[in-house]
Structure 1
C-alpha cells in the first residue's frame, strides 16, 4: 500500500491485483512445464515421469525459498528508503509496486509442489 502504484498519471495499479500475477504465471507456465520441461527431464533422467515425486516437491520448495528471499530483500530495501524519509513523506515510498512481481511470478513453484504432493498422496 505504501509503494508507488502508478503506471501513468491517470492509471494506478490496485495492490490486490498483484495476486493475479501468481495465477497468470501458473496458467501460462503449466503447458510449458508439461510440453517442454517434462520431456527434457525424461531424456536426462531416463525416468518415465521425468522426475520423482520428491524431486518435484524439492524444486517447488527451492523456488518458494527464492521467492521468500526476494521478498525479504525488497522489504529491507523499502524499509531502508522509508527510514531515510521524513515522517510526513512516509505515506508513499518512492519505489514502484512492480518490484513485487518477481516474488508473485515465482508462484509457479506451486506447479511443482502441488503436482508432487498430489502424486505422493495418491
Structure 2
C-alpha cells in the first residue's frame, strides 16, 4: 500500500512543482511592486499612500474574484465544457499561471513607462519619485488576485482528489521540500 501511495505522490510532483511559478510571482508583491511604488508619485490629493499598502489591492481583488469565479465564470464554462465544475483542475491552474504572466507583463509595462519618464526628466540616477501615479500599479495587483483564485482553487481541488486517503493535503501544498 505504501508503494502505491508513493507512486501517486511521484506522479503528482510535477503538478506540485508548477506552484513555484505562482510563488515566484507572489514574491514580487512584497519586493518589486513595493520598490516600484516607492519610486512613483504616491500622493492622491493631500493624502500620501505608503507603497506597501497597495498590497491590500491584492486582497480586495481576491475578495472580488472568488464570487465572480464561482457565480459567473464557472457557470459559463459549464455550458461550454459540460463539466460540473466548468474547468478541470489542471485547466484552472493553467489559467491562473497565464494570468500571473499577464500580471508580470503589466508590472513590466509600468516599469518601462516609469524608467522612460525618469530618463526624459533626467532623474535616472536620482533617488526621487517619478511623477507617475502609483495607481498605475493597481492592474498588476488586480490581475494577481485573479491568478491566485484560479491557481489555488485548482491546486486544492487537484490535490484533494488525487492524493492518497491517508495523506494530509495541507501538508502537501505547504511543504517547502
Q: How many residues align?
A: 121
Further displaced range: 23-32 or 85-94: 85-94
- Post-superposition offset of 1:74: 1.1
Runs of 4+ in 1 over 6 A off after TM superposition: none
Match for residue 98 of structure 1 among 125, 135, 139: 135
CA–CA distance in structure 2, aligned partners of residues 92 and 32 of structure 1: 36
**Is 2:128 aligned against 1:73?**
no
Q: Which residue of 2 aligns with 1:22?
A: 58
Offset at 1:92?
A: 1.7
1:118 corresponding residue in structure 2: 156
Bigger relative CO (Cα 8 Å, ≥ 6 apart): 1
Q: How is 1:28-107 mapped onto 2 (pairs within 5 angstroms)?
A: 28-87=64-123, 91-107=128-144
Paired residue secondary structure (2:49): coil
In 2: Cα distance, 1:50 partner to 1:103 partner: 26
Deviations 1:60-94 (A, max 9, x none): 01110111111111111111211222358651201
Gaps of 5+ in 2: 1-37, 161-177
**TM-score relative to the length of structure 1:** 0.92
TM-score, length-scaled by structure 2: 0.65
Greater radius of gyration (CA)? 2
Distance 1:80 1:43 in 2: 45
Which residue does the alignment assign to 2:147? 109
Q: Which sections of structure 1, spanning at least 5 residues, go unmatched?
A: none
Q: SS of 1:120's equivalent?
A: helix
